[in-house]
Amino acid sequence: MKYRFELIEEQMVFDSFLKINRYRLRHELFQGGESRELVRERMEGLQAASVLLYDPRRDQVVLVEQFRIGALERPDHPWVVETVGGYIGAGEKPDAVARREALEEADCAIEALEPICEFMVSPGISVDRIFLFCGQVDASQAGGVHGLEEEGEDIRVLVMGAEQAIAELQGGRMNSTSVIIALQWLALHRQALRRRWLAGEP
């Protein structure tokens, strides 16, 4: 199999905060031959940078909590604990967005930035990709409520010990994609990362 596909038609069907295109296509099948003509809608133009803020001196993480429309049906409330993050605009680089969002959402300046991974959020319906990082910060002054008023942001900063944050993965409080991946990564790499950053190594 050579992973071939044929794009027959692409049409924009919705153009607002979300942009949705409809595709008509066929693709090669694993057992040979070609699929019937398929129609699929896809959300377009979504790329974001997200960063887990970590203080290796205090062994603390800095997270944010905010209202999320996608969590309206949660049984408790639609406020979600997340890593800092924001969409990548035209011409922007993921690491620059991570640094900017750390200042805007948590008032934290990133001292060092460690790439974790790039992942697709929901490839069945979206082109959305997230560039995920871990950023070294000083958590001693972190706190308060931040965000841009013109974007309707109301973002509360949470500071907690790394052990507590990692343990929250089992309790269900940390249940959005970026924070789950980032905290699992931190659980695996925390000691080596602390040694390196405390030694002043990049």
Pinpoint the alpha helices (H) of 35-176: 94-106, 162-171
Helix (H) or strand (E) holding 187: helix 177-198
In the annotation, is 151 catalytic? Answer: yes
Identify the active-site residue in 151, 153, 163, 168: 151
DSSP SS3 for 89: coil
**Bridge partners, 55 (sequence order):** 60
* Structure-token match 């999320």, residue found: 68
Contact predicate 84/158, CB 8 Å:
no
Catalytic residue list: 151
